[in-house]
Every structure is written in structure tokens, then in C-alpha cells.
């Protein structure tokens, strides 16, 4: 068992047996619950992604990157152990440092996932901010996102191959757009997971702010950045709202101001403190979760998001979106009854 490092005024709190449902965004959680309930779904995805060999990817990192240990990037290695301990992972994921000036980190693999962090990320962030990033990637592993993200990659590749078939391409792009929306929500989920690992809200929000503004932290202010997020939500008219939607096409990560605002909202909701006090769902109860209830919770979260948004375009689409969500609830309820 690793020794827990300290943060100002208190020690980090371990979360034994925590389920990933504790921090997952409702839209992410409902999709995961539905996919996990499909017998053999993971196996099919792994077979479809045979070209993306986990062994090959690990060998590539073993040959071209630096694996953290007690003698290499020791501080980062200890962050990985701490994150695995706090989220009660049965195994500590390996962490590799890859020479790359771009800022990136990722969790890779299905059966034996590992984490890759670029040198650009190490250069950008301080120790507590890095702890948030390692926690974020560890949360991806606990949620099992890597397996399901494979479907997005497969369909994206397929969409490019059938681009010459108009109707086929349009249909696949619609599916890919839906998967990209889920992908973005999974990032919001793991921002929460990263906060649970680091247990330093200021460091978490600093890390996300640096994704937008770089290393000059003395030139930035988190409250001003949150004001910027509110302005992004309310600025402009219906045309600007449409442009914001179009700007998301093809993206897998929410914009930095959105991530900071969402994480701050979740923390202020009381959910973060409740989890640290021991009030969270346990892994042992995951098998009892009902798909229909998770779909309803996802719909409720979207409705709440729409009601809070001041975006004029969201206001125009609210009634249409409400009808779509209601229709989706009816479909999933019918599916749930048929599958028992």
C-alpha cells in the first residue's frame, strides 16, 4: 500500500470499492450501463479492433518512451500509485513518458491498460496539476472507456471509406456525431475522477485553464476564466449558438472554458464532498443498476443543463430537444421491458 502524500490542511482520502458511477456524467454513465449490459459487446469490439494490438502499442512505448518507476520519473510513478490506491484499482497501471512537445495524456489498452504522458504536459503543469491529469486517466481506466472508444475510432474510419456513398456517409456521420458527444461527456466524467484523485480543486482548475493559456499562470485568473465561460454560454444571438454547435463537429474533448465551468459546478453541487465523506455507489452494486433509470437520469441532466444555459440557440431548440429526449426515454423503456 503506497504512502498517501499530503495536501494543505489534510491527507488525501482513499475511496475503497468506489464505482465509476460515482463520478461519471449521467450521459456517459447511461451509455456505459447500456453497453455493458449487452452480452459479448466488449468481446466483439476487441475483435473489431484487432489491428490496434494492445501488445504492439505497449511494445512501441517500451521501445520509444520512458517507463516510470522508482528510478525513472519517480514523482510521476508515485502519482500513479496514489491514484490507483484512491480509486481502489486492482492493479496499478504503468505510466510512460513520451517525448512530444504537444500537451496530451491518454489511457491505452483493453485488458491491461497503461497511461502515456507527453513531455509537453510535464513542462506545462506543476506537481499537483499533474496529479489531476494522472487521476483523470486512471478514471478512464476504471470506467472502461478505452473499450467503448474503440467503436468511435472504427466508425470514424468506416465513414471516411464510404464518403463516396452519400446516404451511407450521412448515416454514419450521424452515429459518429452521437459517439463524439458521448466522448466529450466521458471527458467531463474523468475530470471529476481526476479531482477525486488529486483532491485539490484549485490545481484541477489550473490544469484545465493552462490547456487554454499555457504556462504563464501569473497572467491568468481562475475567476476571470469562469467569467469567460459564462460569457461563452450567454454571448451572441441564435447565429452564435449555431456556430458553437458547428465548432464541436469532429471534436472529442469539450472546450477548456466548458470543462472548468462544469467541474466547478459539480464541486459546488456538493457531490464532491459527499464522495469524500464516504457517500458514493460501490462497485459491488453495479450489476443491479437498471438501464431505464440511468437513461432517465441522463435525460434529467440534459434538461437541467438546458434550463441553466442562457444560450439563445439552446432556447430555440429546447422544445425540439425535449421532444427528442422524451422519445428516447420511451424507446429505452420499451427496450428495457423486453430485455427484462
Q: Would you say residue 122 lies in a domain?
A: yes
pLDDT of residue 176 exceeding 90: no
Could you tell me which residue, 14 or 51, shows the higher pLDDT? 14
pLDDT of residue 306 exceeding 50: no
- pLDDT (0 to 100) of residue 70: 96
- pLDDT (0 to 100) of residue 182: 73
Average per-residue pLDDT in the chain? 78
Extract the C-alpha cell encoding 53: 494490438
pTM for the full predicted model: 0.78
Domain total of the chain = 1
Q: Would you say residue 190 lies in a domain?
A: yes
> Which residue range is the domain that position 194 belongs to?
6-289
137 catalytic residue (yes or no): yes
3-class secondary structure for the chain? Answer: CCCCCEECCEECCCCCCECHHHCCCHHHHHHHHHHHCCCCHHHHHHHHCCCCCHHHHHHHHHHHCEECCCCCCHHHHHHHHHHHHHCCCCCCCCEEEECCCCCCEEEECCCCCEEEEEHHHHHHCCHHHHHHHHHHHHHHHHHCHHHHHHHHHHHHHHHHHCCCCHHHHHHHHHHHHHHHHHHHHHHHHHHHHHHHHHCCHHHHHHHHHHHHHCCCHHHCCHHHHHHHHHHHHHCCCHHHHHHHHHHHCCCCCCCHHHHHHHHHHHHHCCHHHHHHCCCCCEHHHHHHCCHHHHHHHHHHHHHHHHHHCCCHHHHHHHHHHHHHHHHHHHHHHHHHHHHC
pLDDT of residue 191 exceeding 50: yes
Q: What is the mean pLDDT of residues 307-333?
A: 50
The residue annotated as part of the active site, out of 24, 137, 180, 294, is 137
Q: Would you say residue 301 lies in a domain?
A: no
pLDDT of residue 3 exceeding 80: no
pLDDT tens digits, 123-168: 999 999 999 999 999 999 998 887 666 665 665 665 555 555 555 5
pLDDT of residue 42 exceeding 80: no
Q: Would you say residue 317 lies in a domain?
A: no
Q: Would you say residue 300 lies in a domain?
A: no
Q: Name the band, by pLDDT with cuts 50, 70 and 90, for residue 9.
A: very low
Q: Name the band, by pLDDT with cuts 50, 70 and 90, for residue 301.
A: low
Q: Name the band, by pLDDT with cuts 50, 70 and 90, for residue 304.
A: low
Q: Would you say residue 295 lies in a domain?
A: no
Q: Would you say residue 110 lies in a domain?
A: yes
Q: Would you say residue 194 lies in a domain?
A: yes
- pLDDT (0 to 100) of residue 8: 43
Amino acid at each position: 500500500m503506497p504512502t498517501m502524500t499530503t495536501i494543505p490542511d489534510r491527507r488525501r482520502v482513499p475511496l475503497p470499492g468506489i464505482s465509476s458511477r460515482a463520478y461519471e456524467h449521467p450521459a456517459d454513465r447511461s451509455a456505459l450501463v447500456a453497453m455493458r449490459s449487452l452480452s459479448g459487446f466488449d468481446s466483439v469490439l476487441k475483435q473489431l479492433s484487432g489491428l490496434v494490438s494492445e501488445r504492439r502499442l505497449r511494445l512501441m512505448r517500451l521501445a520509444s518512451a520512458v517507463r516510470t518507476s522508482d528510478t525513472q520519473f519517480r514523482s510521476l510513478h508515485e502519482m500513479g500509485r496514489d491514484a490507483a490506491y484512491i480509486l481502489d484499482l486492482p492493479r496499478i497501471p504503468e505510466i510512460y513518458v513520451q517525448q512530444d512537445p504537444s500537451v496530451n495524456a491518454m489511457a491505452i489498452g483493453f485488458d491491461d491498460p497503461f497511461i502515456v504522458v507527453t513531455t509537453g504536459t510535464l513542462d506545462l503543469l506543476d506537481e499537483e496539476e499533474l496529479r489531476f491529469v494522472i487521476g483523470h486517466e486512471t478514471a478512464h481506466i476504471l470506467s472502461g472507456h478505452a473499450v467503448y472508444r474503440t467503436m468511435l475510432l472504427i466508425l470514424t474510419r468506416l465513414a471516411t471509406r464510404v464518403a463516396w456513398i452519400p446516404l451511407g456517409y450521412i448515416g454514419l456521420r450521424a452515429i459518429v456525431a452521437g459517439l463524439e458527444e458521448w466522448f466529450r461527456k466521458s471527458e467531463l466524467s474523468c475530470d471529476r475522477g481526476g479531482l477525486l484523485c488529486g483532491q485539490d480543486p484549485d490545481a484541477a482548475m489550473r490544469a484545465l485553464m493552462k490547456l487554454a493559456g499555457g504556462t504563464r499562470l501569473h497572467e491568468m485568473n481562475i475567476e476571470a476564466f469562469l467569467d469567460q465561460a459564462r460569457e461563452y454560454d450567454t454571448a451572441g444571438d441564435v447565429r452564435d449558438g449555431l456556430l458553437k454547435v458547428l465548432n464541436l463537429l469532429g471534436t472529442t474533448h469539450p472546450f477548456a472554458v466548458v470543462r472548468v465551468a462544469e467541474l466547478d459546478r459539480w464541486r459546488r453541487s456538493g457531490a464532491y464532498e459527499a464522495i469524500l465523506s464516504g457517500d458514493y455507489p460501490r462497485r459491488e452494486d453495479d450489476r443491479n443498476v437498471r438501464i431505464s433509470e440511468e437513461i432517465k437520469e441522463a435525460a434529467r441532466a440534459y434538461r437541467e443543463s438546458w434550463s441553466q444555459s442562457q444560450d439563445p440557440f439552446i432556447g430555440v431548440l429546447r422544445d425540439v430537444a425535449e421532444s427528442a429526449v422524451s422519445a428516447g426515454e420511451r424507446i429505452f423503456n420499451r427496450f428495457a421491458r423486453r430485455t427484462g
